[in-house]
Structure 1
Amino acid sequence: MSKITTSKKYTVWIWILSIVIPIAVAVLFTVRIPGVERMGFLPPTYATINAITAILLIAAVIQIKKGNRKTHELLMKTAIGCSVLFLLMYVVYHMTSDSTSYGGEGVIRYVYFFLLISHILLSITVIPFVLITYVRAILGDFVRHKKLARITYPLWLYVAVTGVIVYFMISPYYV
């Protein structure tokens, strides 16, 4: 099978996942698991995973700049794994717990909602970027991988970092 054929097959799956994941998350937000106690330990856990993802992304860029391709690859695969783990925990938490309202007032309230909304929108936007960048690497298309990674990296890093900031801003309001 040629690289072009393989790339096209991946592209179809990438776009399917990029559409299905946000829709599935939105639908699962409407589902409540009966009889399961609120899992209050999850928000600090998935905030920590976001922080680890950010550290992994920074470390991966440092490693590739040093020419350590294998270490870079391992760090990136781990970052993807952390993002998947985050998503699973996030969905489970929201299937077992009511949403928490932000209680801050004044300018900080606008800052919080700006960070939250940009975090959510970019977390959806970054899905195809991460997947396409990853596929280009596994197919050995490093020129195009590097070109797209220059866009993917800051988007993904922003999502990881703002996830931690949003958690710290809302954590005083968890019941």
Structure 2
Amino acid sequence: MSNVKQEKQYKKFITVVSVVIPLAVAALFGIKLDVEPLSFLPPIYATINGITAVLLVASVIAIKKGNRKLHEQLNTLAIACSVLFLVMYVAYHMTSTSTPYGGEGAIRYVYFFILATHILLSIIIIPFVLFTFMRARLGQFPAHKKIAKITFPLWLYVAVTGVIVYLMISPYYV
């Protein structure tokens, strides 16, 4: 299959995934399953966010050292962690009631700012990650490098703030 045809297929897939995932997550938030709450999941998926952040930093170090294979493996693993996070996050919210943030004063505004930017960027990052990955898979390394310079800090921010949001709200879990 030609590179042009592959790129067209990737772009269609990326467009669909970038729209479907946020819509599906929003829709699934409205569904509450009558099962035992999966209250053990938040520290696990927060840890996965932390692992994702470490993988991303290690990936940048690997490519700066010229280790393309390790760079690719670390990024693939980071994508897998992000998918695993998303599945657990949705499962938790489909089985548990939302935990209100109990902090007061200025820290409350800090929490909601971090939460809002985390959520917004977690939606925005989906096509960035997929396009960055696609460019590498198709061997379009100059284009890959160009978009990776945007993708990396955004994805790292989402991963790190996921951990921060968990740490800030964890005292209020029931």
Q: TM-score, normalised by structure 1?
A: 0.98
1:6 Cα deviation from its structure 2 partner: 1.1
For each residue in 1:146-165, what CA deviation from the matched residue of structure 2 results, as whole angstroms up to 9, or x when unmatched?
00000000000000000000
Report the equivalent of 1:99.
Answer: 98
| Secondary structure of the structure 2 residue equivalent to 1:105 | coil
Partners of 1:168 and 1:12 lie apart in 2 by 37
1:9 Cα deviation from its structure 2 partner: 1.1
Partners of 1:119 and 1:69 lie apart in 2 by 29
1:150-169 correspondence runs (5 A): 150-169=149-168
Matching of residue 141 in structure 1 with residue 173 in structure 2: no
Partners of 2:37 and 2:109 lie apart in 1 by 28
Partners of 2:156 and 2:54 lie apart in 1 by 9
Give, as a single letter, the amino acid of the residue that structure 2 aligns with 1:19. Answer: V
Partners of 1:13 and 1:62 lie apart in 2 by 29
Report the equivalent of 2:18.
Answer: 18
For each residue in 1:35-89, what CA deviation from the matched residue of structure 2 results, as whole angstroms up to 9, or x when unmatched?
x111111000000000000000000000000000001111000000000000000
Partners of 1:63 and 1:17 lie apart in 2 by 28
1:1-175 correspondence runs (5 A): 1-34=1-34, 36-175=35-174
Give, as a single letter, the amino acid of the residue that structure 2 aligns with 1:12. Answer: K
| Secondary structure of the structure 2 residue equivalent to 1:79 | helix
* Number of aligned residues: 174
State the 4+ residue runs in structure 1 displaced beyond 3 angstroms.
none
Partners of 1:18 and 1:135 lie apart in 2 by 14
Give, as a single letter, the amino acid of the residue that structure 1 aligns with 2:65. Answer: K
Q: TM-score, normalised by structure 2?
A: 0.99
Give, as a single letter, the amino acid of the residue that structure 1 aligns with 2:81. Answer: C
The alignment yields a C-alpha RMSD, in angstroms, of 0.5
Structure 1 unaligned runs (5+)?
Answer: none
Give, as a single letter, the amino acid of the residue that structure 1 aligns with 2:139. Answer: G
Partners of 2:88 and 2:45 lie apart in 1 by 7
Give, as a single letter, the amino acid of the residue that structure 2 aligns with 1:2. Answer: S
